[in-house]
Amino acid sequence: MAKIGFIGLGNMGGPMAANLVKAGHQVKVFDLSDQAIETLVAKGAQGAADVAACVQDVAVVISMLPASQHVESLYLGDDCLLKQIARDTLVIDSSTIAPESARKVAEAAVINGLPMIDAPVSGGTAGAEAGTLTFIVGGATEALETARPFLEEMGKNIFHAGDSGAGQVAKICNNMLLGVLMAGTAEALQLGVANGLDPKVLSDIMAQSSGRNWALELYNPYPGVMEGSAASRDYQGGFMVDLMSKDMGLAMQAAVSTQSSTPMGSLALSLYKQQQSKGKGQLDFSSIMQLFQQNGPL
């Protein structure tokens, strides 16, 4: 069993750290929220007074933070945490951030003698709790292999996308595409309904035809079509519009910096932002259905 320092105990980081504790590791944890620390301590983790303490005397450092600036600030900021971590310690950042931020931090890590991977996840809080997350990893193969046993205790699938930053790129490409799939599926269902079709019948037909896609099959946005879907519980819970917008915003940033044309992704993002601007950022992202539904909620 290994000693692990875990920084960032939010909705995702908390259960991820808990799974490492459950697997028998000695996990030191830190978060800006004392309560988040206490919750983990109650599960068997050891609380750290600050980030410096959290990374002392551990074999692996894992971070799970909200955005690029937090990750850059943690590792490269005034206290430059990277300089306080013992050489050869493995660093895993599971935050979803801009690829260029990921590359910048990883380069600095390597200069400090620290192998580092970016390992953003998908699977949501449910996956974090169940230990069934998907990790999309960027970084050296060797570092990934060192990380693998730890990742496997938090997740089920592990993909190696390429060098540093590639995990972030693959995740935001995937999520941009998902944003497109959901928007396209929603409007296709609405077009069918407006022309007299039953949304369930249409969903079944398209799921067995060339319109088949993840959103249609597993996350049907039309209320009542799929039991247990966010759509069938007023779009409560699930993957929030705010988070989809954040991920697609990272995609737009990556597109701008590489002169990539992404008309479909850009448009889909505008639709999610329409939802946000109406105060619906906390709804599940399949609530984009509401933009199209006639006489539905405004």
Residue ranges in 130-169 that form contacts with a second copy under rule CB under 8 A: 134, 136, 157, 159-163, 165-166, 169
**Please, which residue, 33 or 270, has the CB nearer to a second copy?**
270
Q: Does 282 bind a second copy (CB under 8 A)?
A: no
* Residue 14 C-beta: closest distance to a second copy, Å: 23
Q: Does 279 bind a second copy (CB under 8 A)?
A: yes
**Count of residues near a second copy by CB under 8 A:** 88
Rounded CA gap, 25 and 163, in Å? 28
**Please, which residue, 31 or 72, has the CB nearer to a second copy?**
72
Q: What does the H/E/C string look like for 43-55?
A: CCCEECCCHHHHH
Question: Which of 48, 109, 183, 283 contacts a second copy by CB under 8 A?
Answer: 183
Contacts to a second copy from residues 26-85, by CB under 8 A = none
**Please, which residue, 5 or 199, has the CB nearer to a second copy?**
199
The 104-133 site mask, x for binding a second copy (CB under 8 A), equals: ------------------x-----------
DSSP per-residue string spanning 8-40: --STTHHHHHHHHHHTT-EEEEE-S-HHHHHHH
**Backbone φ, ψ for residue 294 (5° rounding):** -80, 135
Q: Does 289 bind a second copy (CB under 8 A)?
A: no
Tokens 């699977």 belong to which residue? 123
Q: Where are the beta strands (DSSP E) in 37-118?
A: 46-47, 60-63, 90-93, 116-118
Residue 285 neighbours by CB under 8 Å, 6+ apart? 179, 182, 238, 239, 240, 241, 243, 244, 272
Q: Does 270 bind a second copy (CB under 8 A)?
A: yes
Rounded CA gap, 123 and 138, in Å? 18
**Please, which residue, 22 or 273, has the CB nearer to a second copy?**
273
Instruction: Indicate which residue of 104, 171, 246, 280 is catalytic.
Output: 171
The 227-266 site mask, x for binding a second copy (CB under 8 A), equals: ------------------x---x-xxxxxx-xxxxxxxxx
Rounded CA gap, 124 and 230, in Å? 13
In the annotation, is 104 catalytic? no
Structure-derived torsion over alpha carbons of residues 206, 211, 215, 218, reported in degrees to the nearest 10: 40
Q: Could you tell me which stretch among 19-27, 55-63, 105-113, 192-200 binds a second copy (CB under 8 A)?
A: 192-200
Question: Which of 145, 212, 224, 234 contacts a second copy by CB under 8 A?
Answer: 212
Residue 140 neighbours by CB under 8 Å, 6+ apart? 115, 117, 163, 164
**Please, which residue, 35 or 295, has the CB nearer to a second copy?**
295
Rounded CA gap, 5 and 57, in Å? 9
* Residue 32 C-beta: closest distance to a second copy, Å: 22
**Backbone φ, ψ for residue 23 (5° rounding):** -75, -5
Q: Does 99 bind a second copy (CB under 8 A)?
A: yes
Rounded CA gap, 55 and 298, in Å? 49
**Please, which residue, 25 or 160, has the CB nearer to a second copy?**
160
| Residues annotated as catalytic (active site), given as ranges | 171
